[in-house]
Structure formats: structure tokens, C-alpha cells
Structure 1
């Protein structure tokens, strides 16, 4: 990685877990990730679990909603909905839209869990009521009290997106299918992030990240994201061409991008250089 070939291409924040988010012109990054990222989530009162599009039969409609921040909180918009996190009726409006009793919350319940669809089962059989699910705890490598699945930041490179597109040319890879926080312009071919776990990266003048693992991909990239249609190839190309071991104890998984933790906070912008720390 060189300064001339690696720079921040885009920054993304997702104020409500599993909803569409917003692109940023600058971001403050702390130990809890980009300020305001996954600040809120939906708590399913029937199951006690956090709503996640990783359980698509129940929650894929979340990806029709967009969450953006303003001076007073988070605005949520989508087909048939325009509400705000400060509205006393926000949870009722979301419950009516989603057909389940949910509460918009900023505080994860104790030992918060979410359901995940098995990605290989989805590729074999599609989305059915019988698609196997696993239950995972939130925040395995994330700061306590957050809604991150594993870590506070997710990075992906333009090189990886270009490679996915080359392997699946009928539907060019869109970064938002993979829900990164930071898209890095690193067009080196292949999957550049494979060599990053265990390394520290400096972004801009101050931010230092520690890359901790490759990102195993689930069903989410295959789902419709707003105006992006469903595309099983977004996962299949990784299952067929890029299975690696992201963590000890796991077998080879379809991966794209990496998870990172924050070593030193900082403010970053598109165009900032990305280099070894």
C-alpha cells in the first residue's frame, strides 16, 4: 500500500442498524466507530432480539428505509413512512410498517442477540421459511453497549469491488450492498484487504485503526437495497472465488472487506491518505 494508491474514497454511516444510511463529507471516529453509526436499533419485543436484515424473511424490509441524522436525532424515511427518533409515536409507526411489535432503542438489552440466515443455505435453496438460522451475540469485538455485530468499523477497497464486478459483470458491485463505513481507493487487483488483518493503518493525520479480521459475508449483499434489486451473485461470486478463514476456529468463509478497531481517534475525509501506521 502506498500513499499514491490508497486513499479514502467514501465514508458511510448507518444511524439505525440494518437500515440504509448516509454518505458523509467528513467523519469523527472514536473507539465506538464513526460518531452516530448504529446509534439506534429496533428491539423485537416478542423475541427479545435485535432486528437485523441478516434474518431476511422477517427483517429485509428494513433495507427499504433510510436513516439520516439531523440536529435533533435521526430521521427515518421510506415507502409509507416519514418519522423521527424524537417522535413519541416512532416505535408504533415502525411496528405498523414492519408488522411486528418493535421499539426503537439506543441501548442494547443485556446479552443482545440477533438471528442470521446461513449464507450457503441461501445460495442452495433461496430464501424460504425453512432457511436455517443461527443466533449470535452482538459486539464480539466491539465496544460494550453498541449495536455492532463484531467490530466498530468495516472497510472495503475499490480493488475488491472491481474484482467482484469482473467475476460478476452482469451486476456491477455496489459498495452499499456490503455496507462499509470506509471505502478505500486501492486498485491493486484481487482482494487487497486479505493482507491487512493484524496490521495498523493510519488514515489522514490522526486516525489509527487495527485491522482484526476479514469480513465473512452473509445474506445481506444479496438483498434489495433501496433501488438496488436482489442479486444472489453478490454473495455467490465470493462463495465460488474467495473463501478464506477469517478467524481461528472458523472454516473458509466467503469474505469481502475487513473489520477494524480504533487505536487512535481522528477526523477523516474523502481524499485522506491510507498508509501503514
Structure 2
């Protein structure tokens, strides 16, 4: 991706959203992006009785709940559909589904939409390049599935290295309308080594990023102008108020 414009091959190759935080999500051909991010992304979450949100890690807002990657969530109106590991499906607002999820997790939980406490770890839209994935593969000596990093937008960038390192502060136009302001690199946690769907459990990815790339991979962005984004949309840098 050039400093001043576009390269024909720099396109969105995957759009992914996660209707319930920390569950497996869905790949979609396109999605609306608004101020909060992709429509429906991480809008619901699993909650403990004390209000903490189910996650792969424990923080002030989140509580680690092993087993969440065994569930998959699909966007639906008025509430996402949650698929249990045994294939049963419930609407996220169905109390019977809450009980079923809790039985699998071995704890009492509910599912609820976002209120005053944000469900995002760092920011509304996460981006990752294929170049960075290849750089991590070179460091680990094997294949790395991009889905491990739960990026909303996977961007096909030629070469390797970590091109996103130079993106913070810049404005990226995606497709015809949406403009994203890149904020900073995304700090990674143990979730990237956990098994999720076809990606098996491993124990080297976080360690490798800690050793070689300050525990970061990909970036997150805020939304300066909403719009629809889709697979095969071209990305271009905008010359903005910061003169870049």
C-alpha cells in the first residue's frame, strides 16, 4: 500500500463481525459501519451476575470465561442467534438459552446488549493485513489462521513485515464512503493461542509477538465517516487535517 494512494491489490478480503462478544462470529460479504463500528458487532455479551462481561481475559470490565469460543453467534433481529457446541440454537434474549449457555460454562450467566459499559476491548473497528500474518508465519515457521485475531477487516497487502505499524494517525478510506482514523496497534492476549473453530490450540503466538513485536498485531480505528464496506472494496489513504 503506497504512502499517498492506492495499490490495485490492496483490497478488503474478509469482513467479519462478532454478534456476541468473545464468541465465534460470522464472515459476511458486506456490512454497514457507523460511529460504533460494524453494525451488530459485539453488541451483545455474556454477563456474570456481578455485571462483568465474558471474555478471554480478566480485567476491570471483563471476566475470563473458558469455553466461550465453543459458541458461535449469528446476527439477527431483535437479538443474535447463539449456537451451542452441541448444535442447539437459541435467541440471545431467550432465558432458556441463558440457562443452556450457563450449563456449558459451568456458571450462572445472562446475555444482554451493550449499555453504559462498552463491549470493545480497545476500539470500534479492528484491522489486520495479510502482510502481517505472513510476517508472523515467518517468525513461527508455520501457518497462522487470520481468524485467530478476530479482525473486522482483513486487508490484502503485498509483501510481509508489519505495515500497520506506520498507520496510526492516518485516515483510511474503505470503499466509496467509509473513512477510518487509525488510532494505535492492538495489544494481544492469550485468546490468540486458544482453539477456535478450525484453528487448533497452540502456545507460541503470544510468546512470539511478545519477543518480536511488543505484543501487538493489527490496529484499531475510530469511524470518521460512516458507510458500507464490502469484500473487494479498495482502500486508499486520505490527505486529511493532519497533512498526511
The verdict on a shared fold, with TM-score over 0.5 as the criterion, is yes
Equivalents in 1 of 2:31, 2:7: separation in Å? Answer: 20
* 2:38 is the alignment partner of 1:59: no
How far did residue 71 of structure 1 move?
4.5
Q: Which of 185, 190, 196 pairs up with 2:167?
A: 196
Equivalents in 1 of 2:201, 2:48: separation in Å? Answer: 25
How far did residue 148 of structure 1 move?
0.8
Equivalents in 2 of 1:74, 1:164: separation in Å? Answer: 33
Q: Which of 241, 248, 253 pairs up with 2:212?
A: 241
**1:100 alignment counterpart:** 107
**2:242 alignment counterpart:** none
Deviations along 1:169-199, one digit per CA (max 9) or x if unpaired, are 23x1111111100000012320010000000
Deviations along 1:125-172, one digit per CA (max 9) or x if unpaired, are xxxxxxxxxxxxxxxxxxxxx3111110100000000111111123x1
How far did residue 48 of structure 1 move?
2.9
Equivalents in 2 of 1:94, 1:7: separation in Å? Answer: 37
* 2:200 is the alignment partner of 1:229: yes
Question: Structure 1: which 5+ residue stretches go unaligned?
Answer: 113-145, 244-253
1:134-213 pair list within 5 angstroms = 146-170=118-142, 172-213=143-184
* 2:13 is the alignment partner of 1:13: no
**2:41 alignment counterpart:** 37
Q: Which of 214, 220, 228 pairs up with 1:267?
A: 228
Contact 2:52 2:63 in 1 (8 A): no
Aligned residues: 230
Question: Structure 2: which 5+ residue stretches go unaligned?
Answer: 239-244
Equivalents in 1 of 2:100, 2:85: separation in Å? Answer: 12
How far did residue 34 of structure 1 move?
0.3
**2:84 alignment counterpart:** 78
Contact 1:60 1:223 in 2 (8 A): no
How far did residue 72 of structure 1 move?
4.5
Equivalents in 2 of 1:106, 1:57: separation in Å? Answer: 17
* 2:58 is the alignment partner of 1:50: no
How far did residue 99 of structure 1 move?
1.1
Deviations along 1:186-241, one digit per CA (max 9) or x if unpaired, are 12320010000000000011000000011111111011112321112221221121
Structure 2 CA distance for partners of 1:73 and 1:57, relative to 1, 3 Å: closer
TM-score computed with the length of structure 2 as normaliser: 0.89
Provide the secondary structure at the position in 1 that maps to 2:12: strand
Equivalents in 1 of 2:103, 2:92: separation in Å? Answer: 16
